[in-house]
Structure 1
C-alpha cells in the first residue's frame, strides 16, 4: 500500500511539472487545440457538402469522429515526452531522486489526460457552433466524454512504451504517424463504412477506433435510431467493446512500459 501511495503522490508531482511546462511554453497547447478546430472546419464546410450520411446530418456524424482522432493523437504526447526526457537527460535526474519508478509514467499519462480534457472542451464548443448537438441528455454525454478520455489514457500507456523503445523524438513522430493515421482513417470516423471495399470494411468494423467512435455517437445521440443496426458485433455493442479494449490495452502496456522504463534508467 505504501508503494501505491508513493507512486500516486510522486505521479501527481510529475503531472504538475508537465502542466507547468505547458504554461511556460503555451505554443504546445495552442497548436494542440488549433489542429482539431481546423479538421472540424475543413470537413464540415469543405468536404461536408460532398459527403452524405442518411438519417443524420454529416456534421453531427463528423464531430464524434474528430473527438476520437484528436484524443488518440493526443495520446502520442506521452511517448513523445518520454523520448524527449530520455534524450535531454531528464530521466537521469529523476533516477537520482527518492521516487517510485512508475511515478514518471503515471505523471506523464495523467497530465496528458488533462490536455485532452482541454482539447475536448474546445472541440465541443467549436462543434456546437457548426451545428453539432448532444441529443441524449447530460448523463449520456458525460459517459461519452469519459469513454474518450479513458481510451486516450490507455493509448498514452501504449505510446509511453513506444517512446521508451524508440527514444528519439523525430523517429517516434514518424513511426506513430504511420500507424495512427491509417488506423483513424480506416474506420467510421469520417465516412460511413458501408461503401468501403470488403477487406477495408471488415478491418474498419473490427477496428477499436470504430467501436469508440460508434460508442461516442450513440452516447451523444448522433445516429438515426430508425436505421438498422450494424452487422459487426463490435459496432452492435460499442460501449462494451470500447471498455474491453481499454482494459486489454492497459493490462498489456502498463507493466510493459514500467519494465521498459526500468531498463531505460538502468543503462
Structure 2
C-alpha cells in the first residue's frame, strides 16, 4: 500500500473517531435538513403554485444538495479547529504524506454524509417524495450528490486552513447558509428578476439540484435557463471538476506550507 493511501486511511479513521466522539454535532447536522423538509414542505408548499406533494418532490433534491453544500461549513470549521489547536503543526512534524491530511478529512466527511443522507431520504419518502426515474439514474444522482459534497468540503478545508481561527470559520461558515437561497433549491428561478435569476442559475447548487431532479425523475429540465441548468448533468460535473481541481490542490499546498 502506498504511503498516501496508508496515511490517508489513518486520517480517515481519525476523523471518523472525531465524529463518533461528538455525536451531538452529527445529530444536529442530520436533524436540520429534516426539520427544513417538514417546514418548507408543509408551510411553503401551501403558499406556492405547486400542490403540497408536488412541491415536496421538488424540494427533496434541493435539500439534499443544500445539505451537500454544507460540506463547505463543516470542512472549514474542522480544518480551522485543527489549525488553531496546533494539530496541523503536529502532523507536519510527523512522517505523514502532505496530501493525506486534507484528503483524509474530505473522505471521512464523505462517509458520514453518505450515511446521514439515508434518514433524509426516508423522511422524504414518508412526506410523499418518490424516485420516479430508473434505478441506475437514481444511483447516479446519489453519486453526483457525493461528488458535489467532496467538492464543497475541499473548498471548506482550504478556507479553514487559510483562516486558522475557529471563530472566523464559524462566522464565515454561517454566511454560507445564503448560498442555497440564491439557487433553485427551494423555489423555481423562472420568476426571479433578470440579474438575480442569472446569479441563481450560475450557482453550482442550481445545476446539481436540477441534475438530481432530472435523474430522480422529479421535474423536467428547463430549456430556457442558463447553460449549467439547461444541461444539468454536464454542468454539475464541470462545476465539480473545477472546484475540486482548484481547491483540493490549494488545500494540500496550504497544509504543506503552514502559515507561509
Instruction: Tell me by how many angstroms 1:224 deviates.
Output: 4.6
Residue 66 of structure 2: aligned partner: 69
Displacement after TM superposition at 1:232 (Å): 2.3
1:138 partnered with 2:108: no
TM-score (structure 2 length as normaliser): 0.94
Q: List gaps (5 residues or longer) in structure 2.
A: none
TM-score by length of 1: 0.92
> Which whole-Å CA distance do the structure 1 matches of 2:50 and 2:237 have between them?
27
Match of 1:12 in 2: 9
Determine the C-alpha separation between the residues in 1 that align with 2:120 and 2:32. Answer: 10
Q: Which residue of 2 aligns with 1:181?
A: 177
| 8 Å contact from structure 1 (residues 8, 106) kept in 2 | no
The ranges of structure 1 where at least 4 consecutive aligned residues each deviate by more than 3 angstroms after the TM superposition are: none
Quote the Cα distance in structure 1 between the aligned partners of 2:178 and 2:23: 29
The Cα of 1:70 is off from its aligned counterpart by 0.5
Q: Distance in 1 between matches of 2:193 and 2:148?
A: 28
The CA RMSD measured in Å over matched residues stands at: 1.7
Give the aligned length.
259
SS at match of 1:191: coil
> Per the alignment, in what secondary structure is the counterpart of residue 45 of structure 2?
helix
> For 1:98, what is the secondary structure of its paired residue?
coil
Unaligned runs of 5+ in 1: none
**In 2, Cα distance between the equivalents of 1:78 and 1:12?**
17
- CA–CA distance in 1 between the matches of 2:200 and 2:80? 31
Distance 1:146 1:64 in 2: 13
- Determine whether 1:249 maps to 2:219: no
Q: What corresponds to 1:85 in structure 2? A: 82
SS of residue in 2 equivalent to 1:114: helix
Deviations 1:120-165 (A, max 9, x none): 1111011001000001021111100111110110111111110011
Provide the rounded CA distance (Å) in 1 between the counterparts of 2:26 and 2:166.
Answer: 18
- Aligned residue runs from structure 1 range 1-267, under 5 A: 5-53=2-50, 57-178=54-175, 180-224=176-220, 229-264=223-258
Q: Could you tell which deviates more after superposition, 44-53 or 205-214?
A: 44-53
Question: In structure 2, how many angstroms separate the alpha carbons of the residues matched to 1:236 and 1:53?
Answer: 21
Question: In structure 2, how many angstroms separate the alpha carbons of the residues matched to 1:18 and 1:99?
Answer: 15
